[in-house]
Chain A
Amino acid sequence: MNSVILQIAAKYLKWLLIVFAVLALLRGHNNPGGGFIGGLMAGLAIVYRGFAYNAFQVKEELQDRPGYYIGGGLFAIFLSFLPSLFAGKTIMTGLWVKIPTPVGEGIKLGTPFLFDIGVFFAVIGVTLLFVFSLTQKQH
């Protein structure tokens, strides 16, 4: 499908979806949102570009990327387990660090946030994998 309108629209709406995805990722844990929802939205943004530019037929460009996303996400989840393990607490205990900033109250970072980032990338990879395998031509 080579539609010029869809290609121009995808160029801008893709970034809008990614912005909302990152917003949902950062807002999660206390408000509606989180890594899973953000990952679904970011994955759909990449799928959107694929539909517009007919990229699902280009196998060699896109085939390995879902695996990279899933592997990176699972590795981030694994990294988020380590601090609670080395602190001598039960594994997967949430540990938070407050980084002071010149303005505002400071940024709260913690292992749940790292876990959310891992879920984000893993869900992007799974979404891409589903859509790629559904749009492959049957042999």
Chain B
Amino acid sequence: MEDSVSNTVLIIAFSMLLAALVLAFARLLKGPSINDRIAAMDLIAAVVMGFVLVYSVMINKSIYFDIPVIISLISFIGTVAVSTYLKHRYG
């Protein structure tokens, strides 16, 4: 694997993504209002997309590249669904 990215870069990328995931999850758990939780869920979806991309860089295969597209479309639907629920409940 001469043409792959070096190990140090991958370790840094994975640890930063992991830190972002942990922070977003903490916000999801303790978020004072439900809007913070919606934003945290969206952020978690974005971090998972980053994980998939870094992993597919690590194993040198492009077969996982359409997973982030699908995750972004579906997480948008989740946000819209929770917003609809909030509007029916409070508005």
Tell whether A1 pairs with B84 under 8 Å between CB atoms, given A20-B66, A23-B66, A32-B63.
yes
A135 to B84, CA, bound (A): 9
A72 to chain B: closest CB distance in Å? 24
Asked whether, in the complex, the Cβ of B80 is within 8 Å of the Cβ of A6, the reply is yes
Residue B87 interfacial (CB < 8 Å): yes
Interface size class of B (residues with CB under 8 A): 10 to 19
Of A41-49, A97-105, A115-123, the one contacting chain B is A41-49
A100 to B80, CA, bound (A): 46
By a CB distance below 8 angstroms, the chain A residues around B66 are 20, 23
By a CB distance below 8 angstroms, the chain A residues around B74 are 17, 41, 44
Asked whether, in the complex, the Cβ of A31 is within 8 Å of the Cβ of B63, the reply is yes
Interface string of B61-91 (1 = CB under 8 A from A): 0011011011001101100110110010000
Closest to B91 in A: A1
Residue A13 interfacial (CB < 8 Å): yes
Task: Give B residues with C-beta under 8 Å from A.
Answer: 63-64, 66-67, 69-70, 73-74, 76-77, 80-81, 83-84, 87
What are 30 A-to-B residue pairs whose CB atoms are below 8 Å?
A1-B83, A1-B84, A1-B87, A13-B73, A16-B73, A17-B70, A17-B73, A17-B74, A20-B66, A20-B69, A20-B70, A23-B66, A31-B63, A32-B63, A32-B64, A32-B67, A41-B74, A44-B73, A44-B74, A44-B77, A47-B77, A47-B81, A48-B77, A48-B80, A51-B77, A51-B80, A51-B81, A51-B84, A131-B81, A135-B84
